[in-house]
């Protein structure tokens, strides 16, 4: 730890904090195991780890918002000279908001949908002060301009749904800095946001810290983000801090294998290895392993820049004649057709053109609302279209019907973003997979059975999980199963909508590797829709950049990333952390 840099007292000191979860009926488990960290005045400290590492629980312990089943069994939390654990609830309320504030993760759910934004931002003043209504209002205007919410007078009376995701997060930030607390805990404040907006929020946090001298405890699973923003980092895993130090030192000379693996498991913009490093943990030694070292098995095939990908690229060029999808002048307008209401039109796509050949991988990038998901849904024949044409193997999509439709469905398979709703909760995984398998003609029971089992193996899932229900699997497992379901139809093309954005970095690496491996085996094309450029750069050889329903740039991935021509693409590339 780099205490030499900091003179004087830490603002927040957490010492040997242990938290235990007491479950009724189940076994008790240790959530945090003697973690210690401090935050000095004016500093931005990062707490990094994957889901289940205990980073959010640590922040909740500081704010005294732990779930009832969890109890602090050991350790201390002190703020300046006050021992926070010794305060009663009444005394603690004075701290919350005034001395320690929180920027929560999910902005939309953190704001009350039926209250005006202005009122909500002014709430800290109402709780911790006695300003008049007018004074509060002018203070809120001040805060709004501080967090770059333009047009504060008009924005004051808006409701949360009238704000975009980034604006909502700004409003929450405004509320957190309202009383100029010395410490703000930011719990994954940018996870739900687009990259460019994420970059702006990060800038905002940095400026606030500099100008107002506020310390931040920044919690994130995103290494890139932390490396851009934080002065010091603590890496957490399984409720322990396994490594800590200056951001630069950690990123240059990380010693713990987990930290290293975490850094390498994230795809990069340029020069990706053929396979990403993965971190695999066996539940058996999750907690017993003292340093967490044993739980890391670096993928043996990782890091080797390989021939196969180049070969497959070559193969692609041979196949170029065989076009799978050809989209010409595709436009899509949404309208709400109410019985009595006036028709409202919204243009989602304007004149989109592209081609996809067999064996080719196309990445569609853009921010939310740019129309990328609409394209995917049209290609899946889930959303109808009227303007322009989409050809699948030479047939116009609107004219595919009946028997041909069955064929089309088998050949074009989706993988959706949300791993939680991708399987029917009422059926076991096995039954859902069998359904997919049975749709191909002439298959008897035993063949279906063996094919499902084989595919389950191929996507790296344990046979025992076959009989479990969707909610019993983790996000990564579900996404693997979803890929298995899609591949059981032996499709020619896989359309994926942000398949890894809901997953942890290390799980993302596993899934991305899996997609690559399976592609080598089954030779299907991919269209992947994402806001994550590095993922595209890892998987795809061609890229399509979208903004406001239009294609702004398209071409070879490498060329576009090295020399983007459109301003928006440049902006997008610059916003990618690291």
Partner 1 sequence: MKRINWKKFGLVTFSLPLVILIIMIASMAEYVAPFDPYFLDVMVMLEGPSEKHWMGTDELGRDVFSRIIFGAQVSLQVGVCAVLVGLTGGVFVGVLAAYYGGYVDQILMRFMDIVFCFPAILLAVILMANFGTSIFNAMLAIGIIFIPGFARLTRAITQTVQRQAFLEAAVCLGLPGHKIIFREILPNVLGPLLVEATVAFSYAVLLESALSFLGLGSQPPEPSWGNMINIGRGFIDQAPWISLAPGLALFFTVFIFNLFGDGLRDILDPKLNE
Q: Contact positions toward partner 1, by CB under 8 A?
A: 337, 339, 380, 382, 405-406, 408-410, 412-414, 416-418, 421-428, 432, 435-436, 439, 467, 469, 471-472, 482, 485, 489
Q: What is the spatial distance between Cα 402 and Cα 296, in angstroms, rounded to a whole number?
A: 50
- R_g over Cα of the chain: 26
Considering the complex, what minimum distance in angstroms separates the CB of residue 422 from partner 1? 4
Considering the complex, what minimum distance in angstroms separates the CB of residue 28 from partner 1? 17
Considering the complex, what minimum distance in angstroms separates the CB of residue 409 from partner 1? 3
> How far, in Å, are 115, 176, 365 from residue 185 at the CA level?
24, 9, 31
Q: How far is CA 545 from the centre of its chain?
A: 19
* 351 versus 421: smaller Cβ distance to partner 1: 421
* 124 versus 499: smaller Cβ distance to partner 1: 499
* 140 versus 379: smaller Cβ distance to partner 1: 379
Residue 488: name the closest of 543, 549, 437 by CA: 437
Considering the complex, what minimum distance in angstroms separates the CB of residue 135 from partner 1? 44
> How far, in Å, are 24, 140, 420, 578 from residue 120 at the CA level?
37, 10, 31, 35
Considering the complex, what minimum distance in angstroms separates the CB of residue 59 from partner 1? 28
* 149 versus 375: smaller Cβ distance to partner 1: 375
**Under a CB-based contact definition with an 8 Å cutoff, are residues 321 and 307 in contact?**
no
* 89 versus 340: smaller Cβ distance to partner 1: 340
* 339 versus 345: smaller Cβ distance to partner 1: 339
For residue 178, the 8-state DSSP code is T
Considering the complex, what minimum distance in angstroms separates the CB of residue 416 from partner 1? 4
Phi, psi of 220 (to 5 degrees): -160, 160
| H helix or E strand, kind and range, residue 346 | strand 344-357
**Under a CB-based contact definition with an 8 Å cutoff, are residues 192 and 165 in contact?**
yes
Considering the complex, what minimum distance in angstroms separates the CB of residue 479 from partner 1? 11
* 71 versus 406: smaller Cβ distance to partner 1: 406
Residue 523: name the closest of 393, 411, 405, 403 by CA: 411
**Under a CB-based contact definition with an 8 Å cutoff, are residues 493 and 325 in contact?**
yes
Considering the complex, what minimum distance in angstroms separates the CB of residue 406 from partner 1? 5
Q: Where do the H-state alpha helices sit in 412-495? A: 429-438, 445-458, 475-488
Give the up-direction half-sphere exposure of residue 569: CA atoms within 13 A in the CB hemisphere: 23
* 245 versus 499: smaller Cβ distance to partner 1: 499
Q: Which two tokens stand for residue 263?
A: 């850094």
Cα 52–Cα 55–Cα 58 angle in degrees, nearest 5: 120
Q: What is the spatial distance between Cα 467 and Cα 472, in angstroms, rounded to a whole number?
A: 10
Considering the complex, what minimum distance in angstroms separates the CB of residue 429 from partner 1? 11
> How far, in Å, are 358, 524, 555 from residue 558 at the CA level?
20, 21, 9
* 337 versus 444: smaller Cβ distance to partner 1: 337
Considering the complex, what minimum distance in angstroms separates the CB of residue 435 from partner 1? 7
- Pairing type for strands 215-220 and 344-357 reads unpaired
The sheet with strand 82-83 has its strands ordered as: 29-39, 12-21, 70-79, 82-83
Q: Which two tokens stand for residue 350?
A: 């304007």
Considering the complex, what minimum distance in angstroms separates the CB of residue 25 from partner 1? 9
* 228 versus 428: smaller Cβ distance to partner 1: 428
Considering the complex, what minimum distance in angstroms separates the CB of residue 325 from partner 1? 15
**Under a CB-based contact definition with an 8 Å cutoff, are residues 254 and 11 in contact?**
no
Q: How far is CA 509 from the centre of its chain?
A: 13
* 23 versus 322: smaller Cβ distance to partner 1: 23
Other Cβ atoms within 10 Å of 253 Cβ, number: 9
Question: Look-up: residue for tokens 């967490």?
Answer: 292
Considering the complex, what minimum distance in angstroms separates the CB of residue 320 from partner 1? 26
Q: What is the spatial distance between Cα 494 and Cα 471, in angstroms, rounded to a whole number?
A: 24
* 354 versus 427: smaller Cβ distance to partner 1: 427
* 322 versus 467: smaller Cβ distance to partner 1: 467
Considering the complex, what minimum distance in angstroms separates the CB of residue 210 from partner 1? 43
Other Cβ atoms within 10 Å of 183 Cβ, number: 22
**Under a CB-based contact definition with an 8 Å cutoff, are residues 177 and 208 in contact?**
yes
**Under a CB-based contact definition with an 8 Å cutoff, are residues 132 and 125 in contact?**
no
Strand partners, 137: none
* 305 versus 424: smaller Cβ distance to partner 1: 424
């Amino acid at each position: 730890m780099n205490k030499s840099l900091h003179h004087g007292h830490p603002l927040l000191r957490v010492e040997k904090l242990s938290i235990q979860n007491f479950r009724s009926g189940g076994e008790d488990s240790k959530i945090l195991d003697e973690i210690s960290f401090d935050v000095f005045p004016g500093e931005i400290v990062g707490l990094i780890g994957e889901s289940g590492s205990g980073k959010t629980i640590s922040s909740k312990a500081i704010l005294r918002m732990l779930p009832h089943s969890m109890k602090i069994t050991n350790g201390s939390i002190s703020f300046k000279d006050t021992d926070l654990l010794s305060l009663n609830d009444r005394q603690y309320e004075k701290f919350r908001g005034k001395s320690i504030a929180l920027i929560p993760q999910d902005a939309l759910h953190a704001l009350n949908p039926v209250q005006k934004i202005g009122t909500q931002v002014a709430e800290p003043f109402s709780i911790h002060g006695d300003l008049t209504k007018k004074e509060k209002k002018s203070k809120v205007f001040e805060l709004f301009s501080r967090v770059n919410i333009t047009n504060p007078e008009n924005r004051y009376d808006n409701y949360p749904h009238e704000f975009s995701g980034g604006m909502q997060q700004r409003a929450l930030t405004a509320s957190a800095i309202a009383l100029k607390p010395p410490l703000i805990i930011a719990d994954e404040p940018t996870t739900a946001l687009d990259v460019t907006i994420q970059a702006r929020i990060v800038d905002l946090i940095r400026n606030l810290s500099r100008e107002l001298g506020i310390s931040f405890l920044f919690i994130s699973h995103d290494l890139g983000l932390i490396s851009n923003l934080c002065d010091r980092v603590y890496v957490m895993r399984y409720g322990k801090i396994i490594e800590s130090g200056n951001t630069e030192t950690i990123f240059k000379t990380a010693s713990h294998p987990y930290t290293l693996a975490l850094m390498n498991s994230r795809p990069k913009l340029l020069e990706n290895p053929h396979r990403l490093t993965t971190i695999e943990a066996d539940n058996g030694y999750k907690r017993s392993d003292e340093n967490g070292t044993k739980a890391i098995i670096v993928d043996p095939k990782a890091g080797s820049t390989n021939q196969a990908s180049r070969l497959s690229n070559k193969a692609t060029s041979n196949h170029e004649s065989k076009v799978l999808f050809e989209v010409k002048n595709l436009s899509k307008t949404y309208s709400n057709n109410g019985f009595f209401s006036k028709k409202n039109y919204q243009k989602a796509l304007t004149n989109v053109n592209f081609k996809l050949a067999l064996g080719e991988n196309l990445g569609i990038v853009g921010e939310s609302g740019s129309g990328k998901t609409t394209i995917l849904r049209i290609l899946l024949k889930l959303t109808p279209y009227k303007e322009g044409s989409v050809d699948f193997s030479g047939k116009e999509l609107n004219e595919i019907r009946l028997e041909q439709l069955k064929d089309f469905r088998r050949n074009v398979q989706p993988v959706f973003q949300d791993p939680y709703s991708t399987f029917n909760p009422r059926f076991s995984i096995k039954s859902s997979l069998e359904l997919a398998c049975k749709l191909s003609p002439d298959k008897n029971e035993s063949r279906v059975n063996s094919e499902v089992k084989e595919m389950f193996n191929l996507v790296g899932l344990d046979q025992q999980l076959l009989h479990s229900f969707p909610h019993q699997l983790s996000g990564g497992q579900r996404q693997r199963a979803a890929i298995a379901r899609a591949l059981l139809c032996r499709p020619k093309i896989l359309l994926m909508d942000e398949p890894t954005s809901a997953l942890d970095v290390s799980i993302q690496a596993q899934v991305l590797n899996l997609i690559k491996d399976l592609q080598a085996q089954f030779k299907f094309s991919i269209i992947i829709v994402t806001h994550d450029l590095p993922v595209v750069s890892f998987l795809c050889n061609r890229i399509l950049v979208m903004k406001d329903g239009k294609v702004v740039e398209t071409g070879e991935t490498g060329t576009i990333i090295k020399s983007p021509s459109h301003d928006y693409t440049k902006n997008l590339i610059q916003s990618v952390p690291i």
